[in-house]
Amino acid sequence: MKNTVIEQLATVLDGTLSVQEIEDMLEKPKFEQLGDIAFPCFLLAKKYRKSPHLIAEEISQQIAKEGFEKIEVLGGYINFFYDKVTFANAVITKVLKERDQYGAKEETGKQIVIDYSSPNIAKPFSMGHLRSTVIGQALANIAEKNGDKAIRINHLGDWGTQFGKLIVAYKKWGSKELVEASPIEELLKLYVKFHEVADDALNDEARAAFKMLENGDSESLQLWQWFREESIKEFMTLYDLMNIQFDSFAGEAFYNDKMPSVVEELEKKGLLVESDGADVVELENMPPCLIKKKDGATLYATRDLAAAFYRMKNYQPKAIYYVVGNEQSLHFNQWIQVVEKMGYEWAKSLHHVPFGMMLKDGKKMSTRKGKVVLLANVLEEVIEMVKQNIEEKNPNLENKEEVAKAVGVGAVIFHDLKNFRLNDIEFSLQEMLNFEGETGPYVQYTFARIQSILEKQPFKENRSYILEVNDYEWPIYTQLVEFPTIVEKAYEHADPSLVAKFALKLARTFNKYYGNTKILESDDFLNGRLALCESVAIVLKESLRLLGIETPKSM
C-alpha cells in the first residue's frame, strides 16, 4: 500500500523528487483520524514558492483514488486513508506468500562480525555473559534477516595474567579429580585462594608462570589447555540448552602470535610511548591505552587490537559488533582510538554494543566470593518451574521435556530482550514466567493458541478467502505490515527489543481479537479469519526466532 502511495506520488511529481526521496518524506500521522500515511508538502512549497496547502491540493487532485478510502489535504499534508479491505488483502497476501521470508531483505553479500558471549576460562559464566549471549545471538539473527551474513565469534577470555596465578595455585593446592568433577567451581576456588594468600613473592611467581606460558613452556601450556577444555565443556552445556551457535571460538590466546606485528606497527608509526617502563599509546580525552606491561606481557587491549586486524583481513566485514557490558566502554573507546590513530579508515566500523546490568533486588548480581551461581542451574530451575506448571495445567501434553525447555529458555531470553539493552534489568523468575505478563511464554502461548485453532480448522490455502475488517481486525493488519520496518530498525539501532515489543503487541492485539470473535463460525469469512490467524502465527514465530526463542505447537 505504501508502495502505491509512492508510485502515485512519483507519477504525479514526474521526476521532481526521486522515489527514495518520496519514501523518506512519508510520515505516519500521529493520530488515526489523520489517515494511514501522510506526505508533507513543505519542501515542494519552498521549491515552487507556493503555499504548502496549495501544492498539496494540486497533487492530491491528480492522484488516482483507487485503493484509498479517501485522500485529504490538511495543513500542508496530503493524508492518505487506505481502503481497509484492499490494505488487509495486500498484507495477508504478502505474508502468506513470503511466509518465514516475510520481512527478509535480499542478500547483500556483505558480512558482519558479531563478538558475543565471550566468557572467561576458569571463571563462572556471569549474568553479563548471559546478556551478551542473548543480545548477540539476536543481533546475528537480525543481521541475517537484513541480508548480511553474520560471523558469530566467541572471543573466549582464555589468556592473561590470571592464568599465571591459576597455574601456581593449581600446582600448590589443586586436585585433578576435583577439577574434572566440577571444573569452573574448583578452578574458581583456586583462584580465590590465590588472592587470599597472595603476597609479593607469590605474585612474582604468578607473573613468572604467565611469562613461561607466553613463552610456550610445554608443561604450562598443557595445564592451560586442560583448564580451557574443561571450562568449554561446561559452557557448552549452557549453549546447547539455549541453542546458541558460534562460527568461531577463537579466543584471546588465538591472537598470541598476531600481536607482535601490531606492536611493531605502533612502534613504526611512532605511537608507542614509554610510561613507567610500560608501553602505552597516548590518547585524546581519555587515559592512555596500555599495550605492553613492564615485564613485556601483553594485555586485553593488545589482544583486541590484534583480533580486529585479523578479523578485518580474514572476513572483510562491513562492521564488527562487540556485545559487551557498558562497564567496558572505556576499554573499547581506548583501543578503537588506537586504530584510528594508526590511520585506518575501518576504525569507524568497530562498534561497541554496550548493555546494562542484571540486578537482583536492585543490586548487581555478582558471583559471591567463591560461591558460584551457575547459570546452567538457574536455567534448570526455570525449566523445572515450567514443567510443574505443565503438569498442573496440561498433564497430557506430548514432549513435555522439550516444551518445558523451550518455554523456560524462552522466558529467560525474552525477559532480557524486551528491555532496551542499555537499561539495567531486574532478574525475577516470577516475572519472566508470568503467562499473562509481558513475557516470552505469553507470546509463545499466543502462537500455540493459534495452532490449536488451525488444527481444528486448517486454513485452506487453495481456496479463496474474504477478509473482514472490523475494529478488532484492523490493528492486526496495520501491525503485521510494520514487521519489515521493525526488522530493519532493530538492525539499524542494534536493538532487539524492538522485535520483542513488536511481538508482544501483536500477541496482545490478537488475543483481544480472539476474545471478541467467533473465529471458527462457519460463515463466508471463515477462511479469511483463518488466513489472518495463519499470518499472525507466521509473524509471531518469525519474531521469536529472531530473538532466539522457539515456538512449541502446544504448551
Q: Which residue is nearest to ligand ARG (CB)?
A: 157
- Minimum distance of ligand ARG from residue 182's CB (angstroms): 20
For 215, the grid coordinates are 613463552
Find out whether 500 and 62 touch, Cβ atoms under 8 Å.
no
Q: What is the DSSP letter of 205?
A: H
**Beta carbons of 417 and 504 less than 8 angstroms apart:** no
Site string for ligand ARG, 96-115 (x = CB under 6 A): -------------------x
Nearest distance in Å: CB 126, ligand ARG: 7
Which value, in Å, is the radius of gyration of the alpha carbons in the chain? Answer: 28
CB of 327 or CB of 391, closer to ligand ARG: 327
Q: Please, which of residues 125-144 interact with ligand ARG by CB under 6 A? A: none
The residue from 118, 161, 451, 509 that contacts ligand ARG (CB under 6 A) is: 118
Task: Answer for the pair 476, 506: CB distance below 8 angstroms, yes or no.
Answer: yes
Minimum CB distance to ligand ARG, residue 324 (Å): 4
The interface with ligand ARG within residues 290-319 (CB under 6 A) comprises 304
Nearer residue to ligand ARG within complex by CB, 117 or 497: 117
Closer of 255 and 525 to ligand ARG (Cβ): 255
Q: Which residue lies nearer to ligand ARG by CB, 118 or 446? A: 118
At closest approach, how far in Å is the CB of 371 from ligand ARG? 19
120 sits near ligand ARG (criterion: CB under 6 A) = yes
Q: Given the complex with ligand ARG, which of 310 and 420 has the nearer CB atom?
A: 310
* Rounded least distance, CB 156 to ligand ARG, Å: 7
Strands 149-153 and 111-115: parallel
Q: Does 324 bind ligand ARG (CB under 6 A)?
A: yes
| 322 is an interface residue for ligand ARG by CB under 6 A | yes
Is 158 a binding residue for ligand ARG by CB under 6 A? The answer is no
Residue selected from 84, 145, 152, 155 as contacting ligand ARG according to rule CB under 6 A: 155
The Cα 309–Cα 289 span in angstroms is: 17
**CA-CA-CA-CA dihedral for 362, 364, 367, 369, to nearest 10:** -90
Q: Which is nearer to ligand ARG, 250 or 487 (CB)?
A: 250
Q: How far is the CB of 376 from ligand ARG (least distance, A)?
A: 17
Closest CA to 246 of 147, 323, 347, 356: 323
Count CA atoms closer than 13 A to 284's CA, side-chain side: 4
Residue 359 · residue 424 · CB < 8 Å: yes
Which residues have a Cβ under 8 Å from the Cβ of 464 and sit 6 or more positions away?
527
- Name the nearest CA neighbour of 29 among 496, 502, 478, 483: 478
With contacts defined by CB under 6 A, how many residues of the chain interact with ligand ARG?
9
- Smallest gap, in angstroms, from Cβ of residue 502 to ligand ARG? 29
Q: Which helix (H) or strand (E) element contains residue 356?
A: none
Cβ closer to ligand ARG: 358 or 539? Answer: 358
Provide the 10 A C-beta neighbour count for residue 305: 27
Shortest distance, CB of residue 121 to ligand ARG, whole angstroms? 9
Instruction: Report the C-alpha gap between 217 and 27 in whole angstroms.
Output: 65
Distance CA 226, CA 246 (A): 21
Question: Can you tell me the distance from the alpha carbon of 357 to that of 211, in angstroms, rounded to the nearest whole number?
Answer: 34
Shortest Å, Cβ 323 to ligand ARG: 8
Q: Which residues bind ligand ARG (CB under 6 A)?
A: 115, 118-120, 155, 157, 304, 322, 324
